[in-house]
Chains A and B, each alone.
Chain A
Amino acid sequence: MLLNQFLLLAAVLFCIGVYGVLVRRNGMLVLMSIEIILNAVNINLVAFGALTDNVGGEVFALFTIAVAAAEVGIGLAIVLLMYRNRRSIDLSEADLLKG
């Protein structure tokens, strides 16, 4: 089995996801980028699981998906509240943490 292809795919997805998180100003898109990062990890898990003939990889991937669902629920709620308060979901405007 060609492990490298999966790992490369995962790495590419991860980088895309990181790029999205860092650059995009739209909160929704940042959330989506996080999902991409998580799925890159999932690919790795499944790939290594298949390589070592161990079902644990798939199981972990399933858990990650479930956790991601929960996380996205919270993220959407944050974005929604942010929109309600500011009529905008531009993350560059949210700088109340400035020291």
Chain B
Amino acid sequence: MNFLLLAAEGATELPMAVSSGTNWFLEHAWIVPLLPALSFVIILFFGKRMPKKGAEVGIAAVGLAFIFAVITGVAWIDHRDNFQPSPAAEHAVVIDGSVSVGDQVVLAAAETPVDGVAAEGTVGEAGAEAEAEHPTVAIHKSTTWLHNNGVGFDAGILVDGLSVLMLFVVTLVSLLVHVYSTDYVAGDRGYTHFFAFLSLFTASMLFFVLSDNILQMVVGWELVGVCSFVLIGHWWEEKANSDAAMKAFLTNRVGDTGLLIGVIILFFTAGNGSFDTLTINSNIVNGGVSHTALVVAAMSLTAAVMSKSGQFILHTWLPDAMAGPTPVSALIHAATMVVAGIYMVARLYPVFFEGMQIGGSSINLLAVVGAITLVFGGLLAFVQNDIKKVLAYSTISQLGYMAMALGVGAWTAAIFHLFTHAFFKACLFLGAGSASHAVHSFDMKKDMGGLKKWMPHTYRTFVVASLALAGVFPLAGFWSKDEILSGTGGWGLFGGTGGNGSYTFMLVMGTFGAALTGAYMTRVIYLTFHGEFRGHGTPHENGRRIIVPLYVLATVALLGGLVNLPPGFITGNHSSWQERFGHYVEPVAGYFPHIAHATPSYSLAIASSLVAFAGIGYAYWYYFVKLDNLAKATGESLTELPDGFVAKSGVARAGHTLLVQKYYLDHLYTDIIAGTTKGAIARAANWVNQNVIDGTVDLVGRTSVKAGRFTYDKIDQPIIDGIVNASGSASNAAGDGFRIVQTGKIQQYAALLFAGAALLGGVLVIVLSL
């Protein structure tokens, strides 16, 4: 009991412990990223000679990785429930309060309230937890990557609920995307190349989520960025596509600067010269790190999240990234790339939790960025004609939800939303790809409409995923979105409880976002699948390799929310079905801040559902009722009402223009920021080049010429050449002299030999006799 500390917010401070791994699959989780990495190498070198052009290797590797990830997940569930750290280890670490990083180090919380002996008082004081949970024991294995001047750089894996979850999500979505791509990019020029980089993309993300230190995370982060660059620019022959790839890469560079600054700050302050994630996290949780440093680190890392996870003002690359093939978009938006930012916040959560004082405030940078992003992204989705761009803005909006949830302290809700969003968003993207594959275009207004008739499977799965995205009960999105909304704690004003603070602003934005989500998805469904077909030719439903992934994802989107039923939803003896996701994913350990769980309220769930239905209902009325009737009356296929708001009201028209111009952010970046700085920088650089650099170069050149001339005339010719010539003629003369002896007569040689020997013998005798 004496090693329990009380933290500021009154929660139990769970100590660290060291233990060895318990399960082969958990200890060898690094095999999961290794498989696709190997597949990348194999496809790159041998893919073109294979019967399926390398696709089979990619599918096999990712499939194996998926199976491995599932087994790892099962192993983790067993480990989470049954593994108890050994008592000896508790003491070893609790005494010095720090974590030793070694070959086989496992951080764990040592308190074991399950046996009912310990923590009676302390857990009672914590109060927030209904049941006293026993700690999670993360498995940490690392090896020295390189060692230089006392600073060791480790490489290793950190396996806990979060990383195991990500392994599952990434491998599942990637596997389905691989299968889908065999049909979607069939016959493409870069087919093999495409599959190679799909594998590398998957491997990078898996590598990233298993990282046990922040340096390794930076490596994974950049690898993911490079892969996205390659895949977005897959059809680089068109200028727009290569521009989009470049834009994605450069926009991410902006945030990467923040990431680097954050990592450096953490290395020196929280890590005390170590990159190890657990060391950093536990040092912060134990309160030994300067608050100022944490604030700066958290803000720098937020910049990284803004670029990587498409948060508002650095989100502009994400819609342009739609230039890549659709399976890549699905992969980027669901499993890899954009969720990397969210994952990074979740992994380094203590930095944000302490740095931004999430636990006790009602407003902070991350939450504000997320809240603004979710509304602004949602609004932009309304004016897009390209089905993929709508989905891209929808992703931005949903990532806003996740960032906001992390910002308000609803960690589990954010990760849960990441999980559910991965599936329904992948399903939507693959569905959009399926539709566009049939009509050879992404433009909903020009080339789609009425596809329901020809593509029933795509339609069905797309609607299910849209409903899940809109948060309709009881689909996956409902549970995760509702958990985020209750996690804001803002509902406290209206009788709800829980959450970390009272983030009322975030609650309002989140609820408004729910209405937007429902409305723009209804718009997409009408424009794509209803009304009359506006394209050319007759569209056809796609083959099984495209349809089956859609159904798999739609099923998960339908049922995925059930893994984290809120407490109190099913009362009675079914508590083992509640909050399973949070139980297995959320760390309860000394390296993690205490997460306050909001108490879900029926009133909030009903209210937010009503708002979402209001959004859906309005859009339904606009498109399915008014527009459809008008279209039937006039006999043409319409995409908007001729006498709608935009046509009638000047304010609405201005707003519409603002949205079409994407808040003029692209103009700001390319024309104003890049345009003004570019010219000035170029002129300054030119001046420096002409006057300073060229002058220096000229001076150096002229001096060199003079020095060379002097050396040639005064040193090279008389001295060096003189010596060489003299030695030559000396050898010549000596040769002429010695030539006389060379008679060719063997006996004369022998005579000389014996004479020499006799002479030497004589010398020897004289020397010895002296």
What is A's interface to B at a CB cutoff of 8 Å? 18, 21-23, 25, 30, 91-92, 94-99
Contact = CB atoms under 8 A, between A and B. Distances in A.
A92 B745 contact: yes
A95 B744 contact: yes
A1 to B, nearest CB: 24
A99 B749 CA distance: 12
B282 to A, nearest CB: 80
Contact of A98 (B744, B747, B751, B754): B744
29 contacts: A18-B754, A21-B747, A21-B750, A22-B747, A22-B754, A23-B747, A25-B747, A91-B745, A91-B746, A91-B747, A92-B745, A92-B747, A94-B744, A94-B745, A94-B746, A95-B743, A95-B744, A95-B745, A96-B744, A97-B742, A97-B744, A97-B746, A98-B743, A98-B744, A98-B745, A99-B739, A99-B741, A99-B742, A99-B744
Q: Is the interface of B mostly helix, strand, loop or mixed?
A: helix
Ranked nearest first, the 10 interchain pairs of A and B with the lowest CB-CB distance are A99-B742, A98-B744, A95-B744, A97-B744, A22-B751, A95-B745, A99-B739, A22-B747, A21-B750, A18-B754
B745 to A, nearest CB: 5
B750 A22 contact: yes
Interface string B78-92: 000000000000000
A30 B749 CA distance: 14
Contacts of B744: 94-99
A22 B739 CA distance: 21
Contacts of A96: 744
B74 to A, nearest CB: 82
A18 B744 CA distance: 19
Interface residues of B, number: 11
Contacts of A18: 754
Contact of B742 (A25, A91, A98): A98
A51 to B, nearest CB: 20
A19 to B, nearest CB: 10
Interface string B725-745: 000000000000001011111
B741 to A, nearest CB: 8
Contacts of A99: 739, 741-742, 744
Given A22-B750, A22-B751, 11 more contacts: A22-B747, A91-B746, A92-B745, A92-B747, A94-B746, A98-B742, A98-B743, A98-B744, A99-B739, A99-B741, A99-B742
A98 B751 CA distance: 16
Nearest to A98: B744
A25 B750 CA distance: 13
B29 to A, nearest CB: 73
A30 B747 CA distance: 9
A99 to B, nearest CB: 3
Nearest to A24: B747
Contacts of A92: 745, 747
A92 B751 CA distance: 13
Contacts of B747: 21-23, 25, 30, 91-92
Contacts of B742: 97-99
Contacts of A30: 747
B751 to A, nearest CB: 5
B604 to A, nearest CB: 110
A73 to B, nearest CB: 19
A64 to B, nearest CB: 19
B754 to A, nearest CB: 6
A48 B747 CA distance: 31
Contacts of B751: 22
Contacts of A91: 745-747
Contacts of A21: 747, 750
Interface in B749-770: 750-751, 754
A94 B743 CA distance: 10
Nearest to A18: B754
Nearest to B748: A22
Nearest to B754: A18
A76 B721 CA distance: 53
Contacts of B743: 95, 98
A41 to B, nearest CB: 14
B753 to A, nearest CB: 10
Contacts of A98: 742-745
B5 to A, nearest CB: 88
A82 to B, nearest CB: 11
A73 B744 CA distance: 24
Nearest to A34: B750
A95 B745 CA distance: 5
Contacts of A25: 747
B69 to A, nearest CB: 78
B64 to A, nearest CB: 72
A25 B747 CA distance: 9
Contacts of B739: 99
A33 to B, nearest CB: 10
Contacts of B754: 18, 22
Nearest to B758: A18
A91 B747 CA distance: 8
A31 to B, nearest CB: 12
Contacts of A23: 747
A21 B745 CA distance: 12
